[in-house]
Amino acid sequence: MPSQGERQNYNWRPNDYSSTTLHRYDMEAEHWTKAFKNASNNHTVGDVTTPLRSIMGGVDFVLSILSLILIILIHFVKWLRSYKVG
């Protein structure tokens, strides 16, 4: 069993620069990065802004469609007025 001094000097973990050791440290870093991202994502799931953003996106889409229809109607009325009867 390692002594307290060996544990404090991290003798229980490899300290060389071999490819195996570096690969293991990269895998551990990826694990911790995913864990922190998942923890932060769990806190934003109950956030009020997420449903609000989806509602505002739907409202924005409806307003865009209505604007397009209005522009088409205006051009159609102008086209009808341009015809000369007679």
What is the distance between the alpha carbons of residues 37 and 29, in angstroms, rounded to a whole number? 12
Q: What digits encode the pLDDT tens for the residues 23-77?
A: 999 999 999 999 988 887 765 545 556 677 778 888 889 999 999 999 999 999 9
Residue type present at position 69: I
Higher-confidence residue of 24 and 85: namely: 24
Residue 5 pLDDT grade (very low, low, confident, very high; cuts 50, 70, 90): confident
Cα dihedral: 31, 33, 9, 17 (round 10): 70
